Structure 1
Amino acid sequence: MITTTATRLGTPAPSGAQYIRMTSFDDERSSSDFPRSRSQSLSVQKSALDTTRRLSVSAAAGNEKPPAATRSRSSTYGRNSRSTQSFSHHEEHHTGFFLFNLILMLYDEYKAACRDGNLLVGIRVGYRPSLRKFRHLTGFAKANVALCTFVFLLVLYIIPVHLFFKLAIATALITVCTVPVLSQFFFYAMPVLAWVFFFFSASKFPQAWRPPISVKVLPAMENILYGDNLSNILAAYHNTFLDLLAWLPYGIVHFAGPFVVAALIWLFGPPTALRYFSWSFGYMNLLGVVMQQLAPAAPPWYKNLYGLAAANYGMSGSPGGLARIDKLFGFDMYTSTFSNSPIIFGALPSLHSACSTMSALWLSYLFPKFKICFIGYVCWLWWSTMYLTHHYFFDLTTGTAMAISFFYMVKLTYLPVRDPRCWCRFDYTEIKQYNLQDNDPLSDQANDDSGDVLEATVPRVVV
């Protein structure tokens, strides 16, 4: 029997159709896998009974045997309205705009979680500054705060602005980290903010602090490891189609992608997952910028323009192949930006490669069914960076290695285990973390019955 889904913004489903919950694009659950930790309310039970009776009458009119159980389509889309009957064949029929329906579904899940008193998914709305968060920090969190504070103070020291503006910046940082309605997001985003501050102030570092620029090491590494300059090979032939194909991941998706990934993690990942994305993404980029400052290296476009001549910090940057995009569209999108970039000689490591790999790893964590698509995106971006003469292949592999290292650092320590039965963050009632000791094949407890995860219910409000 074909089943059909009605939507909040669409037309009613056909008469006699079986109602099921409209799922997300990566809902791997069968109906028998739905968690049932929430107590079912009387109103939902009544709605399920009414729906079953109505469908039974419709099925009887068509001389069909009514189903033994159905999924009710009540005013909420939460787990309260999900039955445990499996249906082997069904087709989802969306009659409304998917994004609007998705927003409504998420809102209904949030309301259901609030009614059930689920403190894991609560959102604080206080506006009075508070230092309570800092009184109960772990040693790891204290080290995080200390390192980010050091970076902020260093940036405020070197940037050439009036003392009044420095105090205003410091006040803003303190405000977003102490006001509850803001700190629940910005406190854990401090590594990202530290990286952004450090990157845009990189050109303001005193000349005496800067090491000499390498123009020969990366071309030599490219020839030793791969036998030739792969960037020059890929960039030897170009046309408008290839330019646009390279521009999309390098010039568009790269800048908007992290915001989209962060939103998806917050909505569809376990509670507390977003803070570890911020940690891994922020410190990966911060370390990358530090490496670029300590060991500056010229990208492929420099060799194409100047050969192996010595470079200096007074030189302007180059957009490489992106100059053809500016010429194609008739206005300056990248020429001025790359010519006046805070870091001109930052080829190693490639943060474009690092960011794309980190995004692919986190999206694979959320939506494992589409892992091959995320891997394909990383390969696409690798090709585009070399085609546009912005990085050598050695730079790309180094950036990817950094991303993998930081991702698994958080995955094997603090990152919650994703529950495939939970559709969004509002469905989680407990947090599970990996237990490295139980997963260690050399441990004496490897064959213990304690399980492969450590369960911990968190009875407090988290983000």
Structure 2
Amino acid sequence: MNEGLSLPRKAINIKDVLIITGISIGYILLSIWLVGFKSDQLVLVGIFNSLYYLSNITRKFILGFSIFIVYWILFDYMKAFPNYQFNEVHIQSLYELEKKLFGIDFNQLKLTPNEYWKLNSNAFLDVLTGFFYLMWVPVPLAFATYLFFRNKRQFIYFSLTFVWVNLLGFVVYYVFPAAPPWYVQEHGFDFIAKTPGNTAGLIRFDHFFNTTLFQGIYSKGSNVFAAMPSLHSSYPVIVLFYGLRSKLGAVNIFFFIVMIGIWFAAVYTSHHYVLDVLAGITCAVTGIFSFSKLIQLKQIERFCEAFIKKIS
């Protein structure tokens, strides 16, 4: 169904300006208090305000994508509340379980899949997995943009499902803090609080292209000990599900390939265990199923209808 972009019923008034300004200032102040000042915060506020005031279409667009902005803010604020302060971090137990379930015999040793691929990496896979890992942001956002212009209802459902799956994943992060494979490779089984992020196997992509792309990304990580579930592995599942619902045909083949590629890249680059990937898939399936039940609630249904009306 193609839902057009009708003009808003009324122009921006002083109340709208005060609300947007108040939210912008409040966000900056709260961010400074929780995680300290970063230029990214000003960029986010600048983009939101620019698109909100630029035109009718851009206003509706940024209001729709505010769902993703809320997710990003919550993810950023996790830095203020490290999950290792609330529960024990699982390091050795997760490593040993991974080796027991998915261990690979190599040169008379039993290795985890991460260890095996670290010893058997090659330039082709380094580049391929790097490109796949870069897709976890642009593919969902590009698909969301397509839905925004083609089907507002599916856009809202997709966006809310995306955030809902993340919230479920965040809960697991705090209930079950887990170290990624690269942590064991770098630090062994000892817990070291405030360990900085690490590009792990993705550093080979950076070296191949003589760039610091992934180094820049992972230097801003919210929490090293949030490896399970792999939400990187959750996102392409959500995209493929809504792609199939939208009957996108051959595009869904691309979504499927990206999904498999991200799953493999997560393990190949030592950012996640196979167990983390499986947990991410489970989180996505659980989120998709539970959201389909949530939207049957009157309150959620009314919220969705109001949101659709707001951005239509």
TM-score normalised over the length of structure 2: 0.73
Identical pairs, percent: 22
Q: Find 2:137's aligned residue among 231, 255, 258.
A: 255
**What is the deviation of 1:295?**
3.0
Q: What is the CA deviation profile of residues 404-438 of structure 1, one whole-angstrom value per residue up to 9, with x for unaligned ones?
A: 222234456659xxxxxxxxxxxxxxxxxxxxxxx
1:193 aligns with 2:69: yes
Q: What residue in structure 2 maps to residue 94 of structure 1?
A: none
Residue-by-residue CA offset, 1:93-126 (whole Å, 9 max, x unaligned): xxxxxxxxxxxxxxxxx8xxxxxxxxx5343344
Gaps of 5+ in 2: 17-26, 105-111, 297-308
For structure 1, which segment, 334-343 or 353-362, has the greater mean C-alpha deviation from structure 2 after superposition? 334-343
Structure 1 CA distance, aligned partners of 2:28 and 2:288?
24
**Do 2:180 and 2:273's aligned partners in 1 also have CA atoms closer than 8 Å?**
yes
* Corresponding position: 1:323 with 2:203: yes
Taking the aligned partners of 2:208 and 2:5, their CA distance within structure 1 comes to 49
For 1:127, the equivalent position in structure 2 comes to 11
Match in the other structure for 2:81 = 205
Work out whether residues 301 and 320 of structure 1, in 8 Å CA contact, stay in contact via their aligned partners in 2. yes
The CA distance in 1 between the partners of 2:14 and 2:163, in whole Å, is: 25
Match of 2:95 among 219, 240, 247: 219
**1:297–1:348 contact (8 Å) kept in structure 2:** yes
CA, structure 1 residues 389+156, in 2 after alignment: closer, same or farther (shift >3 Å)?
same
Deviation at 1:244, TM superposition (A): 0.8
Superposed displacement of residue 285, structure 1: 1.9
1:250-329 alignment to 2 at 5 Å?
250=133, 252-268=134-150, 270-313=151-194, 315-329=195-209
Q: Match of 1:334?
A: 214
Counterpart residue type for residue 238 of structure 2: M
1:388 and 2:264 aligned: no
| In structure 1, distance between residues paired with 2:238 and 2:279 | 13
Assess, with a 3 A threshold, how the Cα gap between structure 1 residues 127 and 232 changes in structure 2: closer, same or farther: farther
SS of 2:137's equivalent?
helix
Residues 153, 283 of structure 1: CA spacing in aligned structure 2 closer, same or farther, 3 A cutoff?
farther
Aligned partner of residue 136 in structure 2, secondary structure: helix
Please give the alpha-carbon distance, in whole angstroms, between the structure 1 residues aligned to 2:14 and 2:56.
Answer: 7
**Within 2, Cα distance between the matches of 1:204 and 1:191?**
21
The normalised TM-score by structure 1 is 0.51
Aligned residue among 225, 243, 253 for 1:345: 225
**8 Å CA contact retained: 1:316, 1:339:** yes
The structure that is helix-richer by fraction is 2
CA distance in 2, matches of 1:234, 1:214: 22
Distance 1:218 1:152 in 2: 38
Higher relative contact order (CA 8 A, sep 6+): 2
Partner letter of residue 219 of structure 1? Y
CA deviation digits over 1:212-236, x for unaligned, max 9? 4321232133234435522222332
Partners of 2:154 and 2:247 in 1: how far apart?
Answer: 14
Identify if the C-alpha distance between structure 1 residues 124 and 275 changes in structure 2 by more than 3 Å, giving closer, same or farther: farther
Structure 1 gap ranges (5+): 1-34, 36-109, 111-119, 133-150, 416-459
Amino acid at match of 2:135: V
CA separation of 1:321 and 1:184: change in aligned 2, threshold 3 A: same
Amino acid at match of 1:245: L
Say whether the 8 Å CA contact 2:230–2:276 is kept in structure 1. yes
Determine the structure 2 residue equivalent to 1:233. 116
Question: Which residues of 2 match residues 15-30 of structure 1 at below 5 A?
Answer: none
Amino acid at match of 1:345: F
Q: One-letter code of the match for 1:232?
A: E
Q: Deviations over 1:50-78 (max 9, x none)?
A: xxxxxxxxxxxxxxxxxxxxxxxxxxxxx
1:449-460 paired onto structure 2 within 5 Å: none
Letter in 1 for 2:286: S
Instruction: After TM superposition, give the deviation of residue 291 of structure 1 in Å.
Output: 2.9
Q: CA deviation at 1:153?
A: 10
1:158 is matched with: 34
Aligned CA-pair RMSD: 3.9
Tell me which residue corresponds to 1:15.
none
